Chain A
Amino acid sequence: MSAATGVRTRAEVHARDRFGVRDLVAEAAAGIGTRPGRLLLTILGTVLGICSLVVTIGMAQTAAGQIARQFDAVAATQVVIQPRTQGWGEGPALATIPWDAEERMLRLNGIEHAGAIADVSIGEVSISAVSVRDPSAVATVQPIVIGATGGLLDAVRGTVTTGRFFDSGHDARADRVVVLGARAAARLGVHRVDRQPSIFIGERPYAVIGIIDGVARRGDLLDAVILPLGTARADFGVDRLAQVHARIAVGAGPLVAEQAPVALDPRTPDGFEVQVPPTSSLVRERVQGDVNAIFLALGAVALLVGGLGIANVTLLSVMERTGEIGLRRALGATRRQIGAQFLLESVVIGLLGGLIGAALGVGAVVAVSVLREWTPIVSTPMVIGSALLGGVIGLLAGVYPALKAATIEPIAALRSTA
């Protein structure tokens, strides 16, 4: 082989006939496969470690996805714009929302629905379902009165319980119609609209065309009597809009925050206060980060224990197989080949544990999600990575036993009459 020492083999052997990777894998597999019972115990630690890792990360991902979805549903897509006021209190507004705010908003990218709201002052008059002044009636809290554009209902995620919401036609004609919030309707004794009930604001009758509910963003609308904006301007002299509500696409918050004030009034864009949701990814990352830190620590401890288990059993196996190692050395195996065999056995054991653990972990995440009616979210790279991590742990755990195996002297090994 080496000219320096003068040792040559009888004939130069072809590389593929030397002890190669194929032989190494076959021998390692045989070494593992001969003791299935022990294999089971050996991989148990890794299985548990990898399983807990996949479960914790998977559950964290699933939970974060769940939280993010709730944010998406309400807050993450809702935008409110109102004029800034001077100073801290009731100073004059620094900007005016134009009457066609709804159309201006809808022109922007990322805005799905938009609607404007105006506060309506009705003075001292009362609101009732009948125009009879009943002196014996108990004084009650009046419903608030609000003027709105036709797009408001969708912008604040309201639903129509019965009847309909008014549209731009009612608005333009200043029709005397109202829509009632669910609680206001109950207080006024209006439960159905098919018989065209009316309510009176002061002496003036207004036809109730619909009752709304489920307003997630502005709960106070449930207590309100809602007029078309045109009607509010004509009958109550409303001179300005209070707020613009918009429902936006997920993630469009920053864009809308930048563009909406300019779209509303290019001369005084700084006069508007825009409340946009934090970007949803930020929310998700923050929640996920907290959860993952704890769970990962637990998984790491489990893996450490699993790795020590493999190291322990592999070392035991080396001691037990001293005779075999001596025999292999006598048959011509080099130290490197012996070490490689035990290292590979350890890697395969770790990998096996990783695969089983990852599979069990995914199963557990799915099972828990089914029970809690969540959407299981488990990223594929994470699962594959976890399985491979088992192999890495096997590799690390196998280093010391492999070195130990490689240094066994054949003489000492063969002397034992095992």
Chain B
Amino acid sequence: MSLLADLGLEQEPAPTHPVLELRGAARTFPGPPEVQALKPTDLRIERGDYVSIVGPSGSGKSTLLHLLGLLDRPTAGEYLVDGIPTVAASEDERAVLRGESIGFVFQAFHLLDRRTVLDNVLLATLYSGVPRHERRERALAALDRVGLSHRVDFHPGVLSGGERQRVAVARAVVADPRVLLADEPTGNLDTVSSAAVLELFDELHGEGLTLVVITHDMSVADRAQRRVRITDGTLVEL
């Protein structure tokens, strides 16, 4: 890429686009009574950002997460992923974009208990266009990255909560997403495991990954360089 840039042939428009961008995006749930879960919002998340979104339950956190994760569409405004408008895209196109651009980490881990740790990580490579011959190699590398090389053939059921969440992180990053979207990543973990996962986030951020962490826990939120508070559907930078 740098060679292309030196030659002035840089085709990637990325530097001028935020990774994620909400432009006046709002989400209204039809009533009665009609609920405006997210008021018209502008949000830019740049490459390499580590953003935490905090707010009490019912504040619109989940709605925001679903919009950012392409799991839901805004009822007004536009949402761009890497400069690509997504609101009018078809469901299939959004699924493909989701697979390639966004890595999810959930509070409940969402691992398949009957598949091995390696299979769970490989699952994310199936739908995201990772070259077939690289899949296994990359999954093993991702597990090595989160420090679980010795658990490759285990089933998630026998792992600790912290280990499970690290498997989920490996699964989220294996397809080389633009952004890692974590929803209460420490919600089901004890303090030691939480610390380990947050440590891992710091390291990934240090390696250039863009992170968005949604949480109600201020101690988690404070790890991020940029914090956004959401209250009654309105975003405020802290």
* Residues on A facing B (Cβ under 8 Å): 1-2, 5-10, 13-14, 16-19, 23, 27, 30, 34-35, 323-324, 326-337, 410-411, 414, 417-418
Contacts and interface: CB of A to CB of B under 8 A. Distances in A.
A5 B69 contact: no
A171 B49 CA distance: 119
A334 B106 contact: no
Contact of B114 (A19, A35, A410, A414): A35
B222 to A, nearest CB: 25
A332 B128 contact: yes
Contact of A332 (B66, B84, B96): B96
B23 to A, nearest CB: 14
Interface stretch (B118-126, B137-145, B158-166, B191-199): B118-126
A335 B91 contact: yes
Nearest to A410: B71
18 contacts: A1-B93, A2-B89, A6-B84, A7-B89, A13-B129, A14-B131, A17-B130, A19-B127, A34-B115, A323-B110, A330-B69, A331-B127, A332-B99, A332-B124, A335-B91, A335-B95, A411-B72, A417-B107
Given A2-B90, A337-B127, A330 B104 contact: yes
Contacts of B123: 327-328, 331
Contacts of A2: 89-90, 93
Given A7-B84, A332-B127, A414-B106, A30 B115 contact: yes
B46 interface: no
A418 B111 CA distance: 10
A330 B112 contact: no
A335 B127 CA distance: 12
Interface in B15-67: 66
B66 to A, nearest CB: 5
Given A14-B131, A17-B130, A335-B91, 5 more contacts: A8-B84, A332-B100, A332-B127, A335-B92, A418-B108
Interface residues of B, number: 41
Contacts of B84: 6-8
A333 B108 CA distance: 20
A103 B95 CA distance: 88
Point out which of A2, A9, A16, A18 has the most chain B C-beta atoms below 10 A from its C-beta. A9
Interface of B: 66, 69, 71-72, 82, 84-86, 88-101, 104, 106-108, 110, 112, 114-115, 119, 123-124, 126-132, 171
Given A7-B84, A34-B114, A324-B112, A334 B71 contact: no
Given A30-B115, A414-B110, A5 B131 contact: no
Contact of B98 (A16, A323, A332): A332
Contact of B132 (A1, A9, A16, A333): A16
Nearest to B95: A334
Nearest to B111: A327
Given A30-B115, A34-B115, A411-B72, A19 B132 contact: no
B95 A329 contact: yes
B93 A7 contact: yes
B91 A334 contact: yes
Contacts of A8: 84
Nearest to B72: A411
Contact of B88 (A5, A10, A327): A5
A332 B95 contact: yes
B110 A327 contact: yes
Contacts of B119: 30
Contacts of A418: 108
A224 B189 CA distance: 106
Contacts of B127: 19, 328, 331-333, 337
A9 B96 contact: yes
Contacts of A13: 129
Contacts of A5: 85, 88-90, 93
Contacts of A27: 126
A220 to B, nearest CB: 79
Nearest to A5: B89
A2 B88 CA distance: 11
A329 B127 CA distance: 9
Nearest to B120: A327
A6 B114 contact: no
Point out which of A23, A324, A331 has the most chain B C-beta atoms below 10 A from its C-beta. A331
B93 A331 contact: no
Contact of B126 (A9, A23, A323, A326): A23
Contacts of A335: 91-92, 95
A384 B130 CA distance: 39
Contacts of B101: 10
B145 to A, nearest CB: 18
Contacts of A10: 82, 100-101
A152 B61 CA distance: 104
Contacts of B112: 324, 327
A331 B124 contact: yes
A329 B92 CA distance: 10
Given A329-B95, A333-B95, A417-B107, A9 B100 contact: yes
Contacts of A9: 96-97, 100, 129
A30 B155 CA distance: 14
Contact of B85 (A6, A14, A333): A6
A333 B125 CA distance: 11
Nearest to A33: B114
A9 B85 CA distance: 12
Contacts of A17: 129-132
A16 B115 CA distance: 24
Contacts of A336: 92
Contacts of B69: 330
Contacts of A329: 71, 95
A1 B115 CA distance: 32
